[in-house]
Structure 1
């Protein structure tokens, strides 16, 4: 979880491969209307995110019900969003990729073939609620190399 440009997809792919887990890219589950809005530079509302979060939650639950491990990417910027996902699978552990706005904006500005414009970075930081200590979440420094993040994530996930 984290704002756009924090490296969710890169870490998600690396972690899923290393763990031999199914990878679910949350961005792929956005309805076309949401993608079009974001491409126009319009931030999504809670109501517009609800169905998307449910699609991600169902996809995660379906894989877990099938006996598979799952790594999924999703911004999950608010606690309410994370709680909604936990409604599908209470044992979800979130890896929060913490990044500063300047770095996130720079990363998004250099991406190609992605619907999210750099102009929406600020709107994501505006609604971001960092995970509380009581949540099942681990905070990682998103400015580190993907290999370092993957190794750190695996170590933290293996701890009780």
Structure 2
């Protein structure tokens, strides 16, 4: 295993600045030729959702995200990687998660960002509760989706 690039993992309640995070990775090396970002936003589910509440297991969430990010850094020639996942009450249109992958070439940056999001959806210890619009509507915990587990199978060691 070659030396890993800088990996920045943050789990925070505060919002993040996509441009600032991208710029930070761009300044890591003059060899950065590609930066791929993925920003996950809270949807309003066609007006049904008032907010999404994310809870996490402190310490464990950061460790698992760092493990997944390290795996991505071991698989692709990255120059830097940032993963920020928010927790707390998040309203439609607000940021939830950010993945920024920097590499010399686009293929590695795209693959690493895609890999990270697939595994964040299925392996990071976060729990989501939907607060539906309307005072009479109950809040509901979101169940894991079987198709998310199917999606991560594409990253098996045979790829």
TM-score (norm 1): 0.29
Higher relative contact order (CA 8 A, sep 6+): 1
Larger Rg: 1 or 2? 2
Structure in which a larger fraction of residues adopt strand: 2
Structure in which a larger fraction of residues adopt helix: 1
